[in-house]
Structure 1
Amino acid sequence: MKNINPTELKAWKRLQKNFDNDKRTLKTRFFEDPDRFNKYHIKWDGLLFDFSKNHIGSETFALFKELLNEANVREAIQMQQGGAKINATENRAVLHTALRNMSGDPITVDGEDVMPGIRDSWAKLAAFSNEIRSGAWKGHTGKRITDVVNIGIGGSDLGPRMVINALRPFVTDEMNFHFVANVDGADLHEVLRKVHPETTLFIIASKTFTTQETMKNANSAKQWFLNNGGAESSVAKHFVAVSTNAEGVAGFGIDTKNMFGFWDWVGGRYSVWSAIGLPVILAIGFQGFQEFLSGAHAMDKHVATEDWDKNIPAQMAMLGIWYRNFHGAASHAILPYDQYMDRFAAYFQQGDMESNGKYVDRNG
């Protein structure tokens, strides 16, 4: 990926002049163009993206399209989705889009198609979730699982928690879902008050299985289980792992057959699409999870192929640059009115800030 500094491009300098010369208010813009809403909204797959209520006009959008083209953004998107190692600091691909690639097309990293491994992961997750949801999986006293406790932090918590809340109408009534992220023991304590050791499944979500906060809570949960009728030999019936550290998982007492891994090209903030989404799969079923992946895949195709005029992520990126780099706005409010989406702001804050919170660019 080319190391392009957008502020040095011709289109950026023209945008600066445009910003300096156009100080019209939003009221004035609507007065001058009563048809503004019809020009500045996009309908896509049941979604309405209305960007007419922003301090921006047609000339500015035209300049932004020039900027996207001059910066080779289309090429960069294709490189990212194609498996190029665009994470230069770690020499890694950034390939969460492969996790939701429902097209069947191959995606290659280091000469190897990653899709067979992803499909194997789907099959393993589907089989496990079907066993739990059907009641075939029994706890150590022969009772079915009624409660699932996800222990993780950051991307191992925010994504699954948000999605289960958002899709609450589709969540099974057969199980309750709980999340523990805070290293303060009160978080785990309050969850354990609501569940029974004979019917609880713990998901320990830590790629390295060494994350300090997660492992402290995991060990506390295990001790609670042992103190309340469980035995070391029964741990594997009540604990599973999302990790790549087989030795650590086995040492904890979890059967590595119930260890679900993922790849180093999956960033934490995008990991809900991977095995980290196991709580989601248990909540809505694997078929529901595939529909979730399909929706994301449709958006991946949209951003990669749609013209900039009708490209929702591109329009959002333009507005983000316009407000942050030209207007100097340092804050971005995300206000979900839908109660089911009440965890979206926390989830997206991580997704956005981990990308935009960097202060060192690719040139150092």
Structure 2
Amino acid sequence: MSERVLLSKDSVYQQIKEYYSANGASINIKKLFDEDDIRFDKFHLKLTTPADGDILLDYSKNRVTDDAWNLLLELAESRDVVKTRNDMFNGERINVTENRAVLHVALRNRSNKPILVDGKDVMPDVNAVLAHMKEFTEQIHSGAWRGYTNKKISDVVNIGIGGSDLGPLMVTEALKPYNQGIRSHFVSNVDGTHIAETLKKLDPETTLFIIASKTFTTQETITNATAAKRWFLERCTEKEQVAKHFVALSTNKEKVAAFGIDTKNMFEFWDWVGGRYSLWSAIGLSISLAIGFDNFEKLLEGAHYMDNHFMTAPLNENAPVILALMGIWYSNFYGAETHALLPYDQYLHRFAAYFQQGDMESNGKGVTKAGERVDFATGPIVWGEPGTNGQHAFYQLIHQVS
């Protein structure tokens, strides 16, 4: 199917539309189970991980029939999902608006098999940055890296916004049980109260600031970084000491050096790393400092496991594809405009905020790759809270209002 044909004009999409018009309103989950003793067997997926048990994806409790599901799988084939997936893994420039590869999978490529962009294997560069992160993490934890009064670093402040904040903050909160003794803080809002209230808690002698900005020109981040530097120099008047308390996650050596950060303490990443996928890159330095590099590597291994699953599983047994098709079914046919994420584990309390960017920044497009205006839903508004909190706030409207 040519990408110049709008999704809404796709012949399979039209078949799904006709099927929904005839059957959608009458699809009842209880009735589906009553009429099919093996519905759960057909509509669930169990993935066995190498060391951490099973992942269960149960999609049987959805308003989708066998016929609808088969049509949705046909749609995935019609829209060349397999080819686009393969192009991504092969380093093709599937980001057509910026003419870039989309290769976050290389960041967690634990197989170390070559991954090429324009004929160059990116894995040596990826591994070099990981080695730098490991060395730095071990220096902080061991006390080999110390502040300007020779005290051990106790607090780390990550200053970033968007993908340079949402992912690291979410993971650091989710993995708090694995914390190695570092107190983590995250500053993103350009409203000065965010940095001011954070700094009130800190001792400049034992605080490390991570400035996360690819270009080192992001307005919100540099404004907060400048405020942090000013606060630091009001307490330590020797400008050269900035190098002991500030590191950069960036690609702009000139700007980093001008700020006062030693470029030896700059951790690089690449233009094929989208912000919403960057927590597995140098942007994850705050995660590594919080939970230790060994645990950070396990995070990479988990992502690599899912990358392999996505790359090798047939469409009808492919968890990312299944969830994507379910989203299309609800958004484009049932007209669902929002998607609530309600984790019942408090450690995941920032997951909805993180996934808002992952989903809505990816799908928040008004035109196709060919530049045509879309006439279908590209995605829902994602929102959510931890489950039990939501029960006492907004569940009543969700469950009781038509």
Compute the TM-score of the two structures, normalised by the length of structure 2.
0.88
Measure how far apart 1:28 and its partner are: 1.8
Residue of structure 1 aligned with 2:111, choices 103, 124, 127? 103
Measure how far apart 1:163 and its partner are: 0.4
1:124 aligns with 2:132: yes
Matching residue's letter, 2:314: D
1:352 aligns with 2:352: no
CA distance in 2, matches of 1:363, 1:91: 13
1:293 aligns with 2:300: yes
Q: List per-residue Cα deviations over 1:44-83 (Å, max 9, x = no partner).
A: 1321111111110111111111111122211110110110
2:381 corresponds to:
none
Q: List per-residue Cα deviations over 1:267-287 (Å, max 9, x = no partner).
A: 010111110000011111212
SS of the residue 2:45 aligns to: strand
Pairs within 5 Å for 1:40-51: 40-44=43-47, 45=49, 46-51=54-59
Measure how far apart 1:2 and its partner are: 5.4
SS of the residue 2:165 aligns to: helix
Measure how far apart 1:41 and its partner are: 1.3
CA distance in 1, matches of 2:237, 2:105: 40
Matching residue's letter, 1:228: R
Pairs within 5 Å for 1:41-190: 41-44=44-47, 45=49, 46-173=54-181, 175-190=182-197
CA distance in 2, matches of 1:41, 1:230: 61
Matching residue's letter, 2:102: V
CA distance in 2, matches of 1:168, 1:16: 46
Of 267-276 and 221-230, more deviation after overlay is shown by 221-230
Measure how far apart 1:39 and its partner are: 2.2
Q: List per-residue Cα deviations over 1:341-360 (Å, max 9, x = no partner).
A: 00000000001001111111
Measure how far apart 1:34 and its partner are: 3.9
1:199 aligns with 2:206: yes
Provide the alpha-carbon RMSD of the alignment. Answer: 1.3
Q: Is residue 3–residue 79 contact of structure 2 (8 Å, CA) maintained in 1? A: no
CA distance in 1, matches of 2:237, 2:291: 28
Q: List per-residue Cα deviations over 1:168-218 (Å, max 9, x = no partner).
A: 111112x10000001111111111111100000000001111111111111
Matching residue's letter, 2:236: G
1:306 corresponds to:
313
Cα distance, 1:87–1:210 mapped onto 2, change above 3 Å: same
Measure how far apart 1:6 and its partner are: 2.9
Measure how far apart 1:230 and its partner are: 4.4
Residue of structure 2 aligned with 1:216, choices 216, 219, 223? 223
Q: List per-residue Cα deviations over 1:3-24 (Å, max 9, x = no partner).
A: 2533332221211121112122
1:229 corresponds to:
236
CA distance in 2, matches of 1:227, 1:162: 32
SS of the residue 1:363 aligns to: coil
CA distance in 2, matches of 1:65, 1:275: 36
2:324 corresponds to:
317
Compute the TM-score of the two structures, normalised by the length of structure 1.
0.97
Matching residue's letter, 2:155: D
1:271 corresponds to:
278
Measure how far apart 1:37 and its partner are: 2.2
Of 123-132 and 338-347, more deviation after overlay is shown by 123-132
CA distance in 1, matches of 2:226, 2:303: 35
1:256 aligns with 2:259: no
Of 32-41 and 220-229, more deviation after overlay is shown by 32-41
SS of the residue 1:19 aligns to: helix
CA distance in 1, matches of 2:238, 2:60: 61
CA distance in 2, matches of 1:356, 1:327: 18
1:14 aligns with 2:15: yes
Matching residue's letter, 2:124: P
CA distance in 2, matches of 1:264, 1:115: 15
Q: Is residue 140–residue 230 contact of structure 1 (8 Å, CA) maintained in 2? A: no
1:3 corresponds to:
3
Matching residue's letter, 1:156: S
Q: Is residue 114–residue 122 contact of structure 2 (8 Å, CA) maintained in 1? A: yes
Matching residue's letter, 1:6: L
Q: Is residue 167–residue 340 contact of structure 1 (8 Å, CA) maintained in 2? A: yes
CA distance in 2, matches of 1:89, 1:184: 31
Of 35-44 and 115-124, more deviation after overlay is shown by 35-44
Residue of structure 1 aligned with 2:245, choices 209, 223, 238? 238
Gaps of 5+ in 1: none
- Paired residues, number: 363
CA distance in 2, matches of 1:338, 1:233: 44
SS of the residue 1:332 aligns to: strand
